[in-house]
């Protein structure tokens, strides 16, 4: 009634969406192993939903690339291969470079503050110590996700989210140590370029920035 916003928020989520979100989190948090079988009827009992609803949720996750469906055999959590990582890496390059360009092109004051805030948090965290690649990838993805968000392109954002989620699955099983501070520092020029509205430079830096992650891809190749 007053000027304040009403904080009341009605959650309107279909059961299918809720089931999909639930399973998505389980997969992303590593509760399921890569390639693990998911049986419709079993999940239906666990979630106390009908098989149809579970099936639709799995369908959604399949479209997001988190699970795969083999006809008459079943669903299973995606099993990332070497070539999958290669594909995801190049998709990231394609999407993030354009996102950085767009973000720089139309950056606002609000956007700048959000970027700098997250960057500051990133740098602060970097001072602590070496951490697992899981955490480094999380905070790194947060920053890149923000850049994608600032691109203002919802379709790009949606696709990027799916790509990023698939990458997160891999980082769940990679527990090597990386230097978080070095990672944080390498993002500073990119953030600056975006805030300055220098789109060409932002694009180039974004590409260069991801290229450093190629090390991880190569490391994967050695292991297999």
Partner DNA sequence: CATTGCAGATTGTCGGACAATCGACAAAGT
Partner DNA sequence: ACTTTGTCGATTGTCCGACAATCTGCAATG
Closest separation in Å from C-beta 98 to its own copies: 4
Q: Return the one option of its own copies, DNA, none that residue 97 interacts with (CB less than 5 to 8 A, by type).
A: its own copies
Among 15, 28, 68, 94, binds its own copies (CB under 8 A): 94
Q: Which stretch binds DNA (CB under 7 A): 33-41, 122-130, 167-175, 207-215?
A: 33-41
Q: Return the one option of DNA, its own copies, none that residue 34 interacts with (CB less than 5 to 8 A, by type).
A: none
Nearest Cα neighbor of 184 from 146, 216, 139 is 139
154, 189 Cβ separation under 8 angstroms: no
Residue 123 contacts its own copies per CB under 8 A: no
Residue 59 contacts its own copies per CB under 8 A: yes
Nearest Cα neighbor of 19 from 35, 43, 42 is 43
Among 49, 163, 202, 210, binds DNA (CB under 7 A): 49
CA atoms of 41 and 34, how far apart (whole Å) = 20
Torsion of CA 217, 210, 165, 14, to 10 degrees: -160
Sequence-distant (≥ 6) Cβ neighbours of residue 66 within 8 angstroms: 24, 27, 28, 77, 78, 165, 166, 169
Residues that bind its own copies (CB under 8 A): 12, 14, 52, 56, 59-60, 63, 65, 71, 86-88, 90-91, 93-95, 97-99, 102, 151, 153-156, 159, 163
């Amino acid at each position: 009634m007053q000027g304040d916003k009403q904080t009341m928020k009605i959650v309107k989520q279909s059961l299918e969406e809720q089931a999909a979100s639930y399973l998505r989190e389980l997969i992303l948090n590593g509760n399921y192993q890569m390639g693990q079988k998911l049986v419709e009827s079993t999940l239906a009992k666990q979630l106390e939903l009908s098989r149809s609803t579970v099936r639709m949720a799995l369908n959604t996750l399949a479209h997001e690339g988190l699970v795969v469906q083999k006809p008459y055999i079943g669903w299973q959590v995606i099993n990332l291969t070497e070539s999958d990582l290669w594909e995801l890496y190049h998709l990231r390059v394609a999407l993030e470079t354009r996102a950085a360009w767009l973000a720089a092109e139309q950056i606002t004051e609000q956007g700048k503050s959000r970027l700098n805030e997250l960057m500051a948090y990133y740098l602060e965290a970097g001072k602590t110590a070496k951490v697992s690649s899981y955490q480094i990838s999380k905070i790194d993805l947060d920053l890149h996700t923000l850049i994608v968000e600032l691109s203002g392109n919802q379709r790009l954002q949606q696709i990027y989210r799916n790509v990023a989620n698939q990458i997160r699955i891999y980082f769940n099983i990679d527990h090597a140590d990386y230097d978080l501070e070095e990672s944080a520092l390498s993002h500073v020029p990119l953030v600056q370029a975006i805030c300055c509205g220098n789109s060409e430079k932002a694009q180039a830096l974004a590409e260069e920035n991801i290229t450093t992650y190629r090390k991880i891809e190569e490391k994967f190749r050695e292991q297999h």
